[in-house]
Amino acid sequence: MILEQIDENLLKIANESDVVLKDIYEKIDDVCFYNSNRILSAFIENNVSYSDFADMNGYGSYDSGRDKLEAIFATILGCEDALVRPQIMSGTNALYLTLSALLQHGDTMISLSGAPYDSLQEMIGISGESSQSLKAHGVSYEQIDLVDNDFDDDKIVERLKKNDVKLVEIQRSKGYSSRLSLTLSKLERIITKIREVNKDVIIMVDNCYGELVEKKEPGHIGADIVVGSLMKNLGGGIAPTGGYIAGRKDLIFMCAERLTAPGIGKDLGANFNMNNTFFKGVFMAPNAVKNALKSAVFSAYMLEKLGFNNVSPRYNEERTDIIQTLELGTEENLVKFTQAIQNSSPIDSFVATMPAPMPGYPHDEVMAAGTFTSGSTIELSADAPVVAPYTLYIQGGLTLEYSKLSILFALTNVLKK
Ligand SMILES: *Cc1c(COP(=O)(O)O)cnc(C)c1O
């Protein structure tokens, strides 16, 4: 059994952690309760019924379940409307769908949070030579870098005074970068400033890993369109695939027409008998996020107590996403750590992790994903681009108990030498 194999000193620190982390865990519980209220209320307001779980095939006409699911996502995210579909196969797909629907030849987009997430680089045309990139379709890209982990307000305001920018993109979570993730209060400050000088620019937020971590979502503070993955927070560890886009009704209409066809928009599309699973996923999402957050806090605490440097965020730092990073310095350490997490996972625990190319990503990746849903990162997982400074990104955990066992077992093996 695993518990017997865990190093005794580690167990002792873990037991102490329950006392030290009590207040932090309580704050996480409070956010979960608050967000659960919003979600249960949305289910009741939308009259979700057993009949909404009916399996629709073919064109999926008149699927009330699909419509109600999208209404619930809109409410949760503080938006007018949403598109939540298994045909949107991931967060990356949702981001590309949004950008390609909203940007036309001659338009300019600006990233306000520095270089965008790795899987966006080729779609924008920052790298690669795809004939389907935004750049190939005549869209210009600019970037304003963060300063001290925060927006460069002056530069952003100055640039947006001229009304020649169609869309700005903000990435809430750090992605594979070493910066801090951007809290909702920072997002709110910059969105307010943007609106003072520019009424028209579309404000888009890549919300991946951020959903339900705070009491508000980007839609509540003025974002026009918000995008994410169902293999992460809002899938609740239950959705088997998918992505979402939520936002202003007119913008969602454009994304829907881009996904299906002009004239069809949101009205068609079979959900492959997954309505029940999507509803259940989003219903369980506050709890999944709560457990993922506690797992991240617990991991940070253990790593700090064991003397690991470069743990971010620190266990007692404010969080706006479920990501925990650990800088490991060498490829060997990175692979070793990932291997230990893989060996302590419920699925494929016997598998060897190795750096390998991943579609859409510029560097080789090494990933521990011993998960029920392939590649799911709301389940306990650890991944990294194999590039200096060899930072490991740890996230997820469906229950704190399972995370504790896995992390302690993994740490035991890492420290064994
Ligand atoms: C994970 C992630 C994405 C992409 O989502 P996938 O479902 O993995 O395609 C985009 N942006 C950020 C910040 C992410 O963390």
Q: Among 113, 232, 320, 374, which is best to mutate for testing ligand 1, by the most ligand atoms less than 8 A from CB?
A: 232
pLDDT grade for 416, boundaries at 50, 70 and 90: confident
| Alpha carbon distance 1, 54 (integer Å) | 42
Q: How far is CA 355 from each of CA 103, 339, 395, rounded to the nearest angstrom? A: 35, 11, 19
Nearest protein Cα to ligand 1, atom 2? 208
Reported as a pLDDT band with limits 50, 70 and 90, residue 309 is: confident
**Average pLDDT for 333-348:** 96
Q: List, for residues 150-178, the tens digit of each pLDDT value.
A: 999 999 999 999 999 999 999 999 999 99
Q: Give the Cα separation of 356 and 333 in Å (integer).
A: 16
Nearest CA to ligand 1 atom 5: 91
Q: What is the pLDDT of residues 2-22, one digit of tens each?
A: 999 999 999 999 999 999 999
Asked whether residue 80 carries a pLDDT value surpassing 80, the answer given is yes
Task: Name the strands in the sheet holding 225-229, side by side, starting at the edge strand that comes first in the sequence.
Answer: 81-85, 243-247, 225-229, 202-206, 167-171, 108-111, 140-143
Find the 120 Cα to ligand 1 centroid distance in Å.
Answer: 9
For residue 175, give the ligand 1 atom closest to its CA.
Answer: 13
Cα 385 to middle of ligand 1, angstroms: 14
Q: Tell me: the pLDDT tens digits for 197-223?
A: 999 999 999 999 999 999 999 999 999
Nearest atom in ligand 1 to the alpha carbon of residue 174 is: 13
Cβ atoms of 82 and 74 within 8 Å: the answer is yes
pTM, full prediction: 0.97
For 97-156, the pLDDT digits (tens) are 999 999 999 999 999 999 999 999 999 999 999 999 999 999 999 999 999 999 999 999
Return the best residue to mutate from 88, 92, 178 for the ligand 1 pocket (most ligand atoms within 8 A of CB): 92
Q: How far apart are CA 365 and CA 254, in angstroms?
A: 34
Task: Report which of 193, 197, 198, 210 is spatially closest to residue 166, judged by C-alpha positions.
Answer: 198
Q: Write out residues with Cβ below 6 Å of ligand 1.
A: 90-92, 117, 119, 171, 173, 175, 206, 208-209, 229, 231
Average pLDDT value over all residues in the chain? 97
Q: Do the Cβ atoms of 300 and 313 come closer than 8 Å?
A: yes
Of the chain, the percentage scoring pLDDT greater than 70 comes to 100
The atom number, within ligand 1, closest to the CA of 230 reads 7
Q: 79 C-alpha vs ligand 1 centroid, how far in Å?
A: 20
Ordered structural domains, the chain, with CATH: 2-35+285-416 (3.90.1150.60), 55-282 (3.40.640.10)
